[in-house]
Structures are given as C-alpha cells and as structure tokens.
Chains A and B, each alone.
Chain A
Amino acid sequence: AQKVTQAQTEISVVEKEDVTLDCVYETRDTTYYLFWYKQPPSGELVFLIRRNSFDEQNEISGRYSWNFQKSTSSFNFTITASQVVDSAVYFCALSEGVKTSYDKVIFGPGTSLSVIP
C-alpha cells in the first residue's frame, strides 16, 4: 500500500533561519512521482516540485531545495533563509499512476510552518 508520512506536525522558526521539512513514503512500485505542495491560508494548493523515481538528483530552486533518497524512501524539503511569506502548510505527496492511464495522488498529513518575524 502507498503511504506518505510527515512526522512534523508543526514547526516554528525565526525569520532567516533554515528549516527542513521531512517526508517519508511507502510504495511497492518502482516507478512513481513525488511532489511537494504549499497551502497558504487562502486554501489553494500551490505546486512546488515533482520528482520521478528514477531521478535522485537533488534540486535547488532559489531558497528551496529538495533531497530525494530512495535508499531511505525520503524526499525532504529545505527552505533557506526563511521568510514570513513561507508560513503555510506544506504537503508531501506520492503518485503511483505512472504506468497506468490514470493517476491518483496520495498526500501526507502536512507540516504547518510558522515563520516568526
């Protein structure tokens, strides 16, 4: 069965600190996609990144970076020099539908990040 775990329910950091959000996933498939989404107070889920299971290269986009390690089934997300605008709930998600015609995205429970000025 597929499952996404985000052990950190809530995190508070002071502005300009670095913060890492953890994500551990379970899947029987060898081919899958992993995602991170951001949900600000407005409620709309904002797509941040997609990574397929064959690409373990770390990725950096501005202040955001992602560390994908298949050996530990983890896909962690780091925000460098956090800002108040980063305050939101962040969801890690998994899709196993790569081989089929249809896709279904399974979300983790989310981590609520508060960045304090």
Chain B
Amino acid sequence: DAGVTQSPTHLIKTRGQQVTLRCSPKSGHDTVSWYQQALGQGPQFIFQYYEEEERQRGNFPDRFSGHQFPNYSSELNVNALLLGDSALYLCASSLGVFGGPAGYTFGSGTRLTVV
C-alpha cells in the first residue's frame, strides 16, 4: 500500500520564478494538507484541501496557492519565489476532516532551494 508520494524530491529555482510541487495521498485518503519546514524548525501549516476546495489556511501570503484534483492528488504553487521560501515542503494526507486527524500520513517532502 503506497503511502504519500511527493514529487520532485529536490528542486532548485531562481528568485522570482514560479514552482509547482505535487502530492499523491495515501490510498483511501481524501484530504491533503501542506506544510513548510524551514531548516531547524517545525513544520508550519500552509493550507488544507478537501473536496477540491481550500478548507483552512495558515499565515502564508497569496503567493502560495494550491489545487486538489478529483483523484484527491494535490499541487502546491508558489509564485515570485523569495530566498526565504527555501524549505522542505511536506504533504500530509488523511481520511476526512471531521473529528481531528487520527494521525496524518506524511510524505518525505520536496526540498526547494531558491537561489
């Protein structure tokens, strides 16, 4: 049973460019959450998608946007990249949104470096 799959594993972009990160949830899961983890820090919540809609958002600017497809996979888009966007981006999937997570399943992340 495949867990959460994220692509690409590593990515290097130039400041000002745009980037798209992809996530396939664990089989049977329908909710995807995205987190940003800067080096040496805990993951920070970006947003959560359920039923192809953004349900909740953390303190991130509009440069961060996302999408969820009918097959529950998701994309994270970041426009006008800044050096400070360099981080590990983690995708987590879960089943439903009611009652709190029974423990998200996390992917291994995409390491984004902005130069």
Contact = CB atoms under 8 A, between A and B. Distances in A.
Interface of A: 4, 33, 35, 37, 42-47, 50, 52, 91, 93, 95, 97-98, 101-110
Contact of A103 (B40, B44, B58, B101): B101
B63 interface: no
Interface stretch (B14-22, B64-72, B73-81, B102-110): B102-110
A102 B49 CA distance: 10
Given A108-B42, A110-B41, A44 B101 contact: no
A101 B100 contact: no
Given A4-B42, A102-B97, 18 more contacts: A37-B106, A44-B108, A45-B43, A47-B104, A50-B100, A93-B42, A97-B56, A97-B97, A101-B55, A101-B98, A103-B97, A104-B33, A104-B45, A104-B48, A104-B58, A107-B35, A107-B43, A109-B40
A105 B109 contact: no
Contacts of A52: 100
A108 B44 CA distance: 9
A105 B98 contact: no
Please tell me the size bucket of the interface on B. Answer: 20 to 34
A109 B99 CA distance: 25
16 contacts: A4-B42, A42-B108, A44-B108, A47-B103, A47-B104, A47-B105, A50-B101, A50-B102, A102-B56, A103-B48, A104-B33, A104-B48, A105-B33, A107-B35, A109-B41, A110-B40
A4 B41 CA distance: 12
